[in-house]
Structure 1
Amino acid sequence: MTVEPFPQWLRPPPGGFVAEDLDRLPDLPPHTELIDGSLVFVSPQAEFHMLVISLLESVLRRLAPADMRVRREMTVTLGRDQRPEPDVLVVRPNIGGDTKRTTFRPEEVVLAVEVVSVESRFRDRERKPHLYAKAGIMHFWRVEDIDGRPVVYAYELDPATRTYALTGIHHDKLRLSVPFDIDIDLTEIARM
């Protein structure tokens, strides 16, 4: 068995990688994120993860106001060395803008959603919400797998402290009036 040589582009430059490197580095695996100047490679996702993303994406797309769009797994450039990739986003994009772009700006993001995976628990529960809040993203949802059922922890930004406040824990139904009227039957994933 031969071991492939370590690609030189994987060695971080002095000061770490920057947001633009995600568009320049060759052969990056899909869904590579930049957190604190380090590349983060995503491991294969469980079926639960994919089902939750699909459910939220389809229902949010149906409920979102005309000036908002629902996207999945696209990065948000939060700073020089921060470019995380939420699982689902609700954005106010520049309509008629560049469809070839690879990232959103934080001021375009209305809601960021992270579905927690075993390998990304710390990032999804602590680091990424902290980054989203500091960047001014008003709404954040964290989705946990509790015995095969999604539980959504909904947060809203406190603009004075730029931290998230928990606004609700939703087990079977997700009903919210912000950022728009939302009513999602979370038990639907059992039928998907």
Structure 2
Amino acid sequence: MPEWLMPPEEGFTAEDLDRLPQLPPHTELIDGSLVLVSPQANFHTLAISLLESALRRFAPSDLRVRREMTVTLGKRQRPEPDVLVVRADAIKGPEQTDFRPEDVVLVVEVVSPESELRDRERKPQLYARAGIPHFWRIEKDHEWPVVYVYELDPATGAYVATGIHHERLKVTVPFDIDIDLTEIDRL
């Protein structure tokens, strides 16, 4: 067993993700524990591709779209959203491995069977606590994605649902977006 699988007594830290040798790609840090990603189903990959390409088309010039990069939310929290929208000035170069929560405008999680609890409960709690203003959760409903849209309520510090989108995602925040979700069939 690799030595890096054994956590230190106080748990792993956000910095450890950049220092641990032979760490598998897309490893996240949640509550001081490493979360290793399982192989993803075709739906997961297609949903990420659909959202990433559409968000790139609609994002204003001061924002950038990234996929599968971590956000350092605290000493023991460094989740990896499937898609992120970040401020353009937060891009530091090709060696960058993470973003700060204040640079993130939107995080998107595509739910997989192995990540249901994390994507539906724990990660939204962490993102909201860090002040990320927008969160979307994507789930599979028959053959198409369903997008659950949330916005941070500044009074409570928690996300509130602002819509559930089937077949078409049309919103005005964080910017004007209009995505035909059935396009997933053509990817």
1:169 to 164, 170, 187: 164
Preserved contact between residue 106 and residue 136 of structure 2 (Cα < 8 Å): yes
State the match for 2:143 in structure 1.
Answer: 148
Q: Distance in 2 between matches of 1:33 and 1:147?
A: 29
Q: Deviations over 1:132-153 (max 9, x none)?
A: 0000000000000111210000
- Secondary structure of 2:137's match? strand
Gaps of 5+ in 1: 1-5
- Secondary structure of 1:94's match? helix
Aligned-pair CA distance for 1:97: 2.6
State the match for 1:17 in structure 2.
Answer: 12
State the match for 2:32 in structure 1.
Answer: 37
State the match for 2:47 in structure 1.
Answer: 52
Correspondence 1:34-183 to 2 at 5 A: 34-94=29-89, 97-183=92-178
Percentage of pairs with the same residue:
72
Q: Deviations over 1:58-78 (max 9, x none)?
A: 010011000000000000000
Q: Distance in 1 between matches of 2:13 and 2:114?
A: 23
TM-score computed with the length of structure 1 as normaliser: 0.95
Q: Which runs of 4+ in 1 moved over 3 A?
A: none
Q: Which moved further from structure 2: 179-188 or 90-99?
A: 90-99
State the match for 1:3 in structure 2.
Answer: none
Aligned-pair CA distance for 1:191: 1.5
TM-score computed with the length of structure 2 as normaliser: 0.98
State the match for 2:179 in structure 1.
Answer: 184
Q: Which moved further from structure 2: 135-144 or 98-107?
A: 98-107
Q: Distance in 2 between matches of 1:185 and 1:51?
A: 13
Q: Distance in 2 between matches of 1:68 and 1:149?
A: 27
| Residue type of the alignment partner of 1:57 | E
Pick the structure with greater CA Rg: 1
Q: Deviations over 1:4-33 (max 9, x none)?
A: xx1122111011000000000000111000
Aligned-pair CA distance for 1:95: 5.7
Q: Distance in 2 between matches of 1:97 and 1:85?
A: 18
Q: Distance in 1 between matches of 2:140 and 2:97?
A: 29
Gaps of 5+ in 2: none
Q: Which moved further from structure 2: 6-15 or 166-175?
A: 6-15
| Residue type of the alignment partner of 1:105 | R
Give the RMSD, CA atoms, in angstroms.
1.0
Q: Distance in 1 between matches of 2:90 and 2:23?
A: 29
